[in-house]
Structure 1
Amino acid sequence: MFVLLAFLSLLVELGLGYPDRLVRAIGHPVVWIGHLISFLDRHLNRATHSDIQRRISGVVALVVLVGVPATIALILSLLLSPLPFGIILVAIVGSSLLAQRSLASHVKAVADALDQGGLAAGRRAVSMIVGRDPDQLDEAAVCRAAIESLSENFSDGIVAPAFWLGVGGLVGGVAYKAANTADSMIGHRTPRHEAFGWAAARFDDLVNLPASRLTGLLLVAAAVLVPGADPANAWRTVRRDAGKHRSPNAGWPEAAMAGALGLALAGPRVYGGVLVDDHTMGNGRREATAEDIRRALKLFWTADLIMVAGFGLIAAVVALA
């Protein structure tokens, strides 16, 4: 049942996305979770506390911000599932945890902006999806940033929530989304969140382990089907470089994407004025272009459809067993 839920949620999000009218009317689950995280950050993360106290408060915050949305998801599941077409209703809710359409749209916007408005427009577009300083980026760096964001967010924003929907139903998907949102908001190594966000960052690393590996494999498989992509080099790059990334998870999709497209991604980057010296994924070209962004999108969509088909096949096998 949970695998079928993940499959249906993916189909709903592919077809409908999360309509802007709905965002204006009621907001979005990630925004609601973000409000809860901000509330806990304001009230539990006090500058007068020691690092140990902040770590303990961070653990308490993590339990609350995962537990509260998960409990709401459980209640929704119990209320909706017995209704006629109940699993469709739950899948509509579950689709809000996925970002296939919006991720592709935001990344495509970077390529379009570069083609139509040049570097300044490309910088503005890429600033919507990455945290690094856009003014520090030349055109190739803008393109690499968009492709890296596509790779990492394919894992965090699509494969991982689909995986946890398949494992734990709506409760699993919502719990994952809450943990991932917490990491994005308080999991950074800043003076304010170094201690308080420690639990959120480590928990997010843990729950993303299976999906990041699966994402890398999906991109390697997709490279077999996409003209011009190199599946053998994608696999070699994953084996050689993925474990060298500063993130225990981001290296898998970034290395697979870099190897498949013949690029060199990651490497030194500037975030908030601070240089982060990361290992390079891949040994291809650093001079990425808008056309490379579009090639990356083809690889993404192929990998995504392989995943959707995989969930559908597993659901069918389970139903027939």
Structure 2
Amino acid sequence: MAHLPFIWLVLGGFVLEGLIAYPALMFKWIGHPVSWMGALIAMADRKTNSAGKRPVRDVIAGFLLVGLGGVALFSAAWQVSRALDVLPYGWVLELCFVASLLAARSLYNHVAVVRTALMEDGVPAGRVAVSSIVGRNVDQLDERGIARAAVESLAESSSDGVVAPLFWVLVAGLPGLVLYKFVNTADSLIGHHSDRYEQFGKTAARLDDMMNWIPARLTGMLFGLAAWPMGRAGAALRVMWCDARLHASPNAGWPEAAMAGALNLRLGGPRCYGAVSENAAWLGAGRAALDGTDIQTALDLYRRLLFIVMVCLLGVALTVGEYA
């Protein structure tokens, strides 16, 4: 087969990443596409961000970083995709590119490490493990706090790392996927409410909110479907609809609230980011005393979500054949 219909390419990339994630040896040798984007953003941050001393200039610099960087990467990905389309078996490389920008298996692995560390080695090990997947201060987290942070990160990242990338690759091909990952990476690095990034990261934060608006809500609905075997689909959707808007983020609350309803938990609540305390709202009305077993239950729910996504992609592939 010299050419693979695009929807099958997306499905293949999803399955490939789900089976092997991004190889650690490849990361050691050449890094990861997201780390390359991060290096570009960090360099621009060092050279153009005045850290709030010149607010207007920082807004413009941040806009140019995201705008020009996004256009350049979108254009480059479009040219690469066109070139691969005419190469014999170029679809193999494009499939690998798609797989490298998804994070279904990687997310599962990272959260599973937190579960294992907390359940087998205790709170200190759990703090170390969870610090790699959350931005909040973990120094004072107890077992409940560690488990809650892991479950919340799993819920939010199900949108950022799985559903949103798939949404944008289906909407705009490889260029759309690359653009989304660049914007999402920029938001992660500079889209913060702090003296240094309040102005410089404004464009990244706003554009990331826009690009995640549909995927976040879609992820919440998928968690509702995934909760159906547990008899909690209605609860997941009800909590999502009632509580999602209580979250400070316009998007993160949707998958997190759905997760809370699906597992009959309370997520959110007060937390610290560095020296800054945030009195976040609670999502859901269930049990707030989480432990390692709740992380595993959340991972089981997440695996059902991935299965639903795979079935949907397969259904589209079998129905329409080639995605235009």
- For normalisation by structure 1, the TM-score amounts to 0.96
Task: Tell me what 2:180 maps to.
Answer: 176
Q: Percent identity?
A: 44
Which of residues 190, 210, 213 is equivalent to 1:209? 213
Q: Tell me the equivalent position of 1:315.
A: 317
2:195 partner SS: coil
Partner of 2:99: 95
Q: Equivalent residue for 1:253?
A: 255
Letter in 2 for 1:153: S
Distance across 1 between alignment mates of 2:10 and 2:160: 15
Deviations 1:27-55 (A, max 9, x none): 10011000110111122212485212211
In structure 2, how many angstroms separate the alpha carbons of the residues matched to 1:135 and 1:50? 34
Matches for 1:190-209 after TM superposition, within 5 Å: 190-209=194-213
Is 1:142 aligned with 2:146? Answer: yes
Deviations 1:107-141 (A, max 9, x none): 01111111111111111110111111111211001
Quote the Cα distance in structure 2 between the aligned partners of 1:117 and 1:320. Answer: 49
2:129 alignment partner AA:
A
Tell me, in whole angstroms, the C-alpha distance in 2 between the residues paired with 1:239 and 1:218.
Answer: 13
Q: Distance in 2 between matches of 1:6 and 1:205?
A: 24
> In structure 2, the residue corresponding to 1:116 is in which secondary structure?
helix
* 1:70-97 deviation line (CA, Å, top 9, x unaligned): 2221222122122233333211111111
Give distance in 1, aligned partners of 2:67 and 2:9.
Answer: 25
The offset of 1:153, in angstroms, is 0.4
Q: Does 1:57 align with 2:61?
A: yes
Give 5+ residue unaligned stretches, structure 1: none
Point out where structure 2 has 5 or more consecutive residues left out of the alignment: none
Among candidates 154, 161, 164, match of residue 165 of structure 2:
161
Structure 1 CA distance for aligned equivalents of residues 322 and 77 of structure 2: 28
Per-residue CA distance 1:186-230 (angstroms, 9 max, x = gap): 0001101100100000000000011101100110000012x4x61
1:63 counterpart SS class:
helix
Asked whether the 8 Å contact 1:98–1:158 carries over to 2, the reply is: yes
Q: Which structure 2 residues correspond to residues 77-96 of structure 1 after superposition, within 5 A? A: 77-96=81-100
Taking the TM superposition and a 5 Å limit, the aligned residue runs for 1:64-79 are: 64-79=68-83
Q: Which amino acid aligns with 1:51?
A: P
Conserved? CA contact 1:45–1:196, under 8 Å: yes
Q: Does 1:270 align with 2:272?
A: yes
Alignment partner for residue 47 of structure 2, among 40, 43, 50? 43
Does the Cα contact within 8 Å between 2:62 and 2:199 map onto a contact in 1? yes
CA distance in 1, matches of 2:166, 2:128: 30
CA distance in 2, matches of 1:207, 1:7: 21
| 8 Å contact kept, 1:270–1:276 | yes
SS of 1:164's equivalent?
Answer: helix
Deviates more, 1:154-163 or 1:59-68: 59-68
- 1:242/1:85 CA distance change after superposition, 3 Å: same
Q: What's 1:280 paired with?
A: 282
Contact 1:33–1:181, Cα closer than 8 Å, also in 2 = yes
Supply the AA of the counterpart residue of 2:68: V
The two structures, once aligned, show a CA RMSD in angstroms of: 1.5
Distance 2:245 2:283 in 1: 10
CA contact (8 A) 1:6 1:163 kept: no
Alignment size in residue pairs? 319
Equivalent residue for 1:128? Answer: 132
Question: How many Å separate the matches in 1 of 2:321 and 2:6?
Answer: 11
Q: Which moved more, 1:159-168 or 1:58-67?
A: 58-67
Of 177-186 and 271-280, the range deviating more from structure 2: 271-280
CA distance in 1 between partners of 2:72 and 2:43 (Å): 13
SS, match of residue 270 in structure 1: strand
